[in-house]
């Protein structure tokens, strides 16, 4: 149980275009999802916390107009990288909590490797 | 939020050796997880261990919450154990899971 599916796994796009990444909880409802970013050989950095039915909370330094997050249902959150530039190339990973308990593990998707040319 | 420090940053072992990875955190945690990131970037959830000890095959983990650290033990290491090991904690009144910088493990045949 507690499977998080992320799609696509890889995407290559041209500068100036937008890319949407989907994160789905397959067998549970996730009121809260988290989006992380990982540069090569570095750790995972939290970008934003996504709550179903409300606006996402962004970490300091993350541009909310560039990284649009929508959490329209209890099983789906999307991250849209708008007007992508080469510096947005990175590995993006989503995660979700499997139950409403605050003290429960996070389950992670397999990540999306974005390359902007 | 809390800060998470991992040590050592790099570790090279011969196949069959044992190892201990450490994770220190700056505040009390109510969630601590250990992950193994494979070469394709997938995060494999190893343990959810806010306190106590757990074992899964050749891997085990211990968290001493009162002293704010956790240890991951790998016994009889195999080349397939290579990769980056992350610990991540949540606490200090925040719901955010904060990652350490990871330990890169290389197991040579």
Tell if the CB–CB gap between A44 and B86 is shorter than 8 Å: yes
pLDDT value at residue A53: 83
| B63-95 tens-digit pLDDT | 999 999 999 999 999 999 999 999 999 987 888
Structure tokens at A69: 């997050």
Cα separation, A13 vs A113, whole angstroms: 11
Tell if the CB–CB gap between A111 and B42 is shorter than 8 Å: yes
Across B34-45, average pLDDT: 93
Across A26-53, average pLDDT: 92
Across B46-67, average pLDDT: 96
Token look-up 């998707």 returns: A109
B39 interfacial to chain A (CB closer than 8 Å): no
Please report, rounded to a whole number, the percentage of residues in chain A having pLDDT higher than 90: 76
pLDDT value at residue B35: 97
Closest among A79, A73, A74 to A100, alpha carbons compared: A74
Q: How distant is the Cα of B90 from the closest Cα of chain A, in angstroms? A: 9
In this structure, what DSSP letter does residue A28 have?
Answer: S
pLDDT-derived band at A98 (thresholds 50, 70, 90) equals low
B30 interfacial to chain A (CB closer than 8 Å): yes
> Collapsing DSSP states into helix, strand and coil, what is residue A86?
helix
Cα separation, A11 vs A43, whole angstroms: 21
Cα separation, A21 vs A80, whole angstroms: 6
Is the pLDDT at A100 greater than 70, yes or no?
A: no
Structure tokens at B40: 């394709």
Is the pLDDT at A101 greater than 80, yes or no?
A: no
> Collapsing DSSP states into helix, strand and coil, what is residue B3?
coil
Q: Where are the beta strands (DSSP E) in chain B?
A: 4-7, 10-14, 19-25, 29-37, 43-48, 52-56, 59-64, 69-74, 83-91, 98-99, 103-108
């Amino acid at each position: 149980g507690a499977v998080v599916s992320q799609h696509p796994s890889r995407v290559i796009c041209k500068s100036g275009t937008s890319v949407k990444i989907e994160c789905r909880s397959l067998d549970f409802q996730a009121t809260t999802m988290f989006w992380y970013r990982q540069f090569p050989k570095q750790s995972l950095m939290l970008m934003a916390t996504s709550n179903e039915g409300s606006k996402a909370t962004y970490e300091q330094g993350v541009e909310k107009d560039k990284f649009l997050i929508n959490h329209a249902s209890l099983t789906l959150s999307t991250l849209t990288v708008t007007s992508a530039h080469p510096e947005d190339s990175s590995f993006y990973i989503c995660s979700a909590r499997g139950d409403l308990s605050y003290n429960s593990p996070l389950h992670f998707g397999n990540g999306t490797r974005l390359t902007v040319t | 939020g809390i800060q998470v420090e991992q040590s050592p940053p790099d570790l090279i072992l011969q196949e069959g050796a044992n190892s201990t990875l450490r994770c220190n955190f700056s505040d009390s945690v109510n969630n601590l997880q250990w992950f193994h990131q494979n070469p394709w970037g997938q995060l494999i959830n190893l343990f959810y261990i806010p306190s106590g000890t757990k074992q899964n095959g050749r891997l085990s983990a211990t968290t001493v919450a009162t002293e704010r650290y956790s240890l991951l033990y790998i016994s009889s290491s195999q080349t397939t154990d290579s990769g980056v090991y992350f610990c991540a904690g949540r606490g200090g009144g925040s719901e955010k899971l904060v990652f350490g910088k990871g330990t890169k493990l290389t197991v040579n045949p």
